[in-house]
Homo-oligomer: A and B are copies of this chain.
Amino acid sequence: MNSELIRNDFPILKKECGGRPIVYLDNAATSQKPLPVLEAVYEYNTQGNGNPHRGAHVLAISASEAYDGSKEIVRRFINKRSPKEIIYTRNTTESLNLIARSYGETHLKKGDHIVITIAEHHANLVTWQRVAQKTGAVLDYIYVDKKTGHFLEKDLEKINKNVKIVAFAQVSNVLGIEFDPRPLIQRAHEAGAVVVLDGAQSAPHRRVDVQELDCDFFAFSGHKMCASGGIGVLYGKEQLLDDMEPFNLGGDMIEEVREQSTDFAELPAKFEAGTQNVEGAVSLEAAIRYLNEIGFDEIQKQERKLVTQAIQGMQQIPHIRIIGTENPEEKEGLVSFTVDDVHPHDVAEILSAVGICIRTGHHCAQPLHTYLGIYASCRASFYFYNTEEEVQYFLKHLRTVRSVMGYDD
């Protein structure tokens, strides 16, 4: 991987900060965008912008083509059969809310169970709390081993025939653990449950094949994988989507509207109300093309290298505690940690002063933090455009944190 060439595509990485180019290690929160993506959006806006699916003129047609063309790229990206099964949303959060409302609230009843894991992002947790509350279903948790981050084997037994939904992140945004979701999916399907896979932290980093995974729903965000804000994806199996209530109502998702009743459009329009974010769709297509060109094998190789270097370096610094497994082979591009006696917010502040961007807080995973007995943590998350030199710089300054805070070890 030619890091230098790649980094030329990301002007923001040259931004001066703390006396040197910024070191952006908050990629799990949102990624940066390469020039080809910015240019594709610019080109659309200066050559082809119109309202898709709503007119016969040349710009309405170019907008429709841009929008539908982008879906075809997404379809291939996750290896789906039909573009009908690809719904554009605003982000992972909206994708998950769509499932919760249009599937969860209408298909579950009192006494049914929903199983999620304690490591879920709030988007895949609070959503199910509401479904449980509205339907009378019960929300069960699969807990993880506090050291390794692996699911507790015995908790998998919670996936029994009362369970109607099993929802979990393919990669946890705190533990960063990369595990094989297939046994869980298989167990869920044997129990007759529907599987919701939160791909926010997996889709940006690795090839995803929803047919092979055989998950029923899959959600991810464009902004975490080099695309613009405001575009997300929901994949769902056609017969499930067909059988669901519409989500938002309005233009473009209708077949025929009368004063007192409405026939809804077919998939995917049924779930796409109002004027869509075509620029977002264009940027997502450009982002996927960009990532494909680099290649996911290369991306994973680079990230593995950086994570390994980071973990090995951190293990050498006293008073650093890595959250979850310390095996770099199991970490998907991110490492969460704490520094003894230094609050994560202070760690982030100290690093930010020298131009290093890491995330601090509960990372939208409060129940996991509570379970682990910490209130907050730090997270360094990498993407393919990060370099070994950046990790070195990060480690160097991480080493100073305790001394800045007045500890002399």
Contact = CB atoms under 8 A, between A and B. Distances in A.
A90, A141, A274 pick with most chain B CB within 10 angstroms: A274
Given A275-B30, A366-B257, A251 B49 contact: no
A277 interface: yes
A91 interface: yes
A276 B370 CA distance: 26
A266 B120 CA distance: 23
Number of identical protomers? 2
Contact of A54 (B126, B127, B280, B359): B359
B360 A276 contact: no
A217 interface: no
A45 B12 contact: yes
Interface stretch (A155-163, A222-230, A291-299): A222-230
A77 B250 CA distance: 26
Contact of A364 (B223, B252, B352, B364): B252
Contact of A55 (B57, B100, B256, B360): B360
B277 A229 contact: yes
Contacts of A46: 11-12, 38
A20 interface: no
Contacts of A229: 230, 275-280
Interface stretch (A21-29, A236-244, A322-330): A21-29
B250 A127 contact: yes
Contacts of A257: 122, 125-126, 366-367
A51 interface: yes
A60 B379 CA distance: 14
A26 B60 contact: yes
Given A92-B274, A229-B278, A275-B223, A30 B49 contact: yes
Contacts of A4: none
Nearest to A282: B229
B59 A24 contact: yes
A96 B41 CA distance: 28
Interface string A350-370: 011001111111001011001
Interface of A: 11-12, 15, 17, 22, 24, 26, 29-30, 32-33, 38, 41-42, 45-51, 54-60, 90-94, 96-97, 100, 118, 121-127, 129-130, 139, 141, 221, 223, 228-231, 248-252, 254, 256-262, 273-280, 345, 348-349, 351-352, 355-361, 364, 366-367, 370
Given A122-B254, A122-B257, A129-B262, 9 more contacts: A17-B58, A30-B50, A33-B49, A93-B251, A121-B250, A124-B250, A125-B257, A228-B277, A230-B279
